[in-house]
Each structure stands twice: as C-alpha cells, then as structure tokens.
Amino acid sequence: MRVTLCFGGSIISPEKPDVDCIREIAGIVRTLKTQRHDPLIVTGGGGPAREYIEIAQKLRISSSGLDKIGIDVTRLHARMLISALGDLAEPDPVTTIEAAVRAALKNKVPVMGGTTPGQTTDAVAAMLAKTSNSELLIFFSDVGAVYTADPKLNPKAKKIDTMTSRELVNLVGGKRPAPGMKIIIDPVAAKLIERSKIKTIVVGKHELKRLPEIIRGAKHSGTTIVPVSE
C-alpha cells in the first residue's frame, strides 16, 4: 500500500530533536518496506521552529521570512530522519511534491519538510498524498486524535473516534494558522483531504510500533477521517 506519513514536530522534535523517536520511526519505515508498503514522509518543525520564529519576530523579519525559517527547520528534521533511514531514503530532503513522487517511483523513501511560505506541513502531506495516489494518509501528533477543542486548553474537549472529511473542514475551518502555530490539522489540509477523498488517520506517538497493523486496518486510539461520497 502507498501511504503518506506526516510526523508532526510535536513528536519528532517537541523541544529539541528526539533521537529515540527518530530511530523508532526509521525502524518502523524499514518494516513497512519489508512488507512491500510504499511510504512517503513529511516532517514538522516542532519546538525548534517556534523558537527560531520567535527570535526572528524580535528581529522584525517579515511573515514570509518567518515561514522560510520554519521550512528550513522542517527540512533539517527531514535530513536527520534520512540519516537514520540510510540507503532506504532519497539522500537529501526533497523540496517539491513532484520530486517526492519521482523518488517513490524509484523505490526510495522520500522525506520532505515544508515547501512554500504560507503553507503548513499538514497541507504538504495532504498534497503529497493526493499527488502520489496514496491510499492512506496518517498524521502523528502529540495530541493523538482530533478533539472537539484543544484538550490542552479545554478539559471538556471530547475525543472524536470517527468523523467525515466534511466534519473535519467544519471543525477547523475558522482557524488560520500563523507561522509556528500548533493546530491538529490546518484548514487548507482539511479541504485537500475532503477534495481528494483520502482516508486519513490521526494518532499519537505511542501508536508508532503498531503502524503496520494500523495500515492493515487494525483498531487504534486516534481518529479516523473517512471521505464523503458525493
């Protein structure tokens, strides 16, 4: 199965790069390849991206400049994961969706971060899934599911086990992420997921070891987002 995996900065580098997590991801990706799956990977920026963006704001760097700094950090995380994957991966972070698809067709694992200012890695993952004809899109985040509100801020937030892509759009549609902002799935990504009709799953870091089972359809502790049939 071709599957696009988005490892949020909140798990791959919450405050600084999590070496154990990166190693675990690399091990799981190797397992997926031995099982003849075709993974494509996007990495987020996490704490280091926010830290650099905060410093850049003090230097009065433009919004576009802030985005570029965030993109640089996501690509640095991509390079770290590439190092852990070794020969399985394309040797450098790919910088376009088209290059990622070409790498996958060569039987290499493409690993990429951000691509364009004003666009989150959520949106990059959704576009990559669509363009590569992935059968499944999986987001890994520190929250581990989609909730009715931010569970870190609202103790009454309720976890959603299953929802439609349209319900996801309605839930996040009013939010507009700024550079470095944390959000479970941004509105642009949500709309892309709805339009492309790709089954999507949001899970936490603790489900990494079970990724091969989840891809095969096993139950998980996160949220399943099912496409809406017209």
User: Any residues with CB less than 8 A from the CB of 179 and at least 6 apart, and which?
Assistant: 53, 63, 66, 67, 69, 70
pLDDT in tens, 117-139: 988 999 999 999 999 999 999 99
**pLDDT at residue 69 above 80?**
yes
Domains and CATH numbers, the chain: 2-226 (3.40.1160.10)
Cα distances (Å, whole numbers) of residue 131 to 30, 123, 125: 23, 12, 10
pLDDT in tens, 210-220: 999 999 999 99
Range 30-42 average pLDDT: 97
Q: Enter the pTM of the model.
A: 0.93
**pLDDT at residue 111 above 50?**
yes
Distance CA 152, CA 15 (A): 17
Query: Quick one: pLDDT at residue 180?
Result: 45
Amino acid found at 212: P
